[in-house]
Structure 1
Amino acid sequence: MDSKELVKIAAQACDNKRANDIVVLDMEGVSLITDYFLICDGSNERQVQAIAKEVKEQAEKQGIEVKRVEGEKSARWILVDLDDVVCHIFHKDERHHYNLEKLWGDADTLPYEGIANS
């Protein structure tokens, strides 16, 4: 499975749990870490945990190894590492504070609708 298909699966998983403002940053050519960052947020800690769990479950259903999950306990910023796609699932307050979209401003931004329809 290529990284474009993987980010689509992850984005759909976030949407399944009603994540807010799903954005994908195309990291190719910007960073050697990964191909895509998926960024979204939830309204509260339970929703953030549910989104992360859904991403993990949907990836595993497709035979994708989840490399690591960080931040599940506090649920303020959960990182799900799928190798070619890194999902950043924020509590809405934390997302504004860290503002990864601005930090990685050199990356092309793809809205969820663009990923879902590709």
Structure 2
Amino acid sequence: MNSKEVIHQLAQTCDDKQAKNITALDMRDVSLVADYFLICHGNNERQVQAIARSIKDVRDDMDLPLKRMEGFEQGRWILVDLDDVVCHIFHKDDRLHYNLERLWGDAERIELSVNNAGDSYDL
């Protein structure tokens, strides 16, 4: 499975947990950190943790490497590093504050076919 297929599967996983404003960025031309960023948010800490847990479970099924997971205990900004794909799961208030989409504005957005991709959100 290539990285683009992985990002679509992970986006669907986030959507299944009712993540909001699911956004994928192609980072290959703008950063050495990862090929793709997947960014989404939940409305509270429990939902943020549930989304991250679901990503981790799907990652196990897809046999992807888990380099690290940070921020799970607080449930405000959880980073799940899957080597070529880095998932950022925010609490909605923290997503507004950090605004990664603006920070990485040079990155191309990837069209996702999930219900909560690109839903209205004031960034």
- What is the Cα deviation at residue 30 of structure 1? 0.8
Cα deviation code 1:2-38 (max 9, x no counterpart): 1111111211110110000000011011111111000
* Distance in structure 1 (CA, Å) of the matches to 2:91 and 2:32: 26
Contact 1:11 1:112 in 2 (8 A): yes
> Taking every aligned residue pair, what percent have the same amino acid on both sides?
59
TM-score by length of 1: 0.93
- Aligned alpha-carbon RMSD (Å): 1.1
Where has structure 1 moved over 3 Å in runs of 4 or more? none
Aligned to 2:25: 25
Aligned to 1:57: 57
Q: Which sections of structure 1, spanning at least 5 residues, go unmatched?
A: none
Q: Does 1:47 align with 2:32?
A: no
Aligned residues: 114
Bigger helix share: 1
- What is the Cα deviation at residue 111 of structure 1? 4.2
Query: 2:51 is paired with a residue of what secondary structure?
Result: helix
Aligned to 1:96: 96
Equivalent AA in structure 1 for residue 39 of structure 2: I
